[in-house]
Amino acid sequence: MMPTAIPNAPSAAHEVWVYLSSSPLLWLTLTLIAYQGAYALYRRSNFNPLLNPVALSVIVIVATLKLSDTPYQLYFDGAQFVHFLLGPAVVALAIPLYAQFEHLRRDALGIVVALLAGAVTAVVTTIGVAWALGASDTTLRSLVPKSITAPIAMGISEKLGGAPSLTAVLVIATGIIGAVCAKYILNALKISDHAVRGFSVGVAAHGIGTARAFQVSEQAGAFAGLAMGLHGLIAAIGMPLLLLLWPR
């Protein structure tokens, strides 16, 4: 009687992984589990900004892709449903914003001035610091829209001649840093008004900062959402004009 062959366990495990990694459901599930786990830790820490759930989720997902040698495109093909939901999520920001309509109408002039000041400051300081540190022309062009929500920023970066993929990384990093540091900076400046705090975070840290603002209060979140949307609008119109002034 011939002995029964014992299957090669590592080979079998590899085949199972190859099969699972080709399934879009795996990467969508990984994304949801990573965020839920990070958010649970964030909540248990009493919403400590240093444990931002987006930052923790990014670390987990990047580590998983690196260790499993999985191409980013394969991951994105599976998790793109989350990306699709960004559009409806942004539109839904209009609901809490409507509740603050009277406040918006009363402070319209101040909002416009603050928006323009924040947008110009973001561009000038970014280009100035990067240029002083010797950044390349492509990097400078990629950095310009870093404080705008990712879909708009990547489109602007492409029009400016930057690298959209680099811009996406910079946008996410800006949002995470803004969400983590905003509380301490605004406290140091003794700014307590939730509308002002929210608007500041929305201008500087787009969607990730807006999500953090909503955890503070609905008013802060509404004004952060307003700032994020308006910043994206004026940037989409105004930043391409930089091409006329950009040195050749």
Residue 69: pLDDT band (50, 70, 90) is confident
- 69 vs 107: CA distance, rounded Å: 52
For residue 200, pLDDT beyond 60? yes
pLDDT at position 188, please? Answer: 92
pLDDT at position 3, please? Answer: 46
For residue 37, pLDDT beyond 90? yes
Listed range (4-8, 38-42, 228-232) with the worst mean pLDDT: 4-8
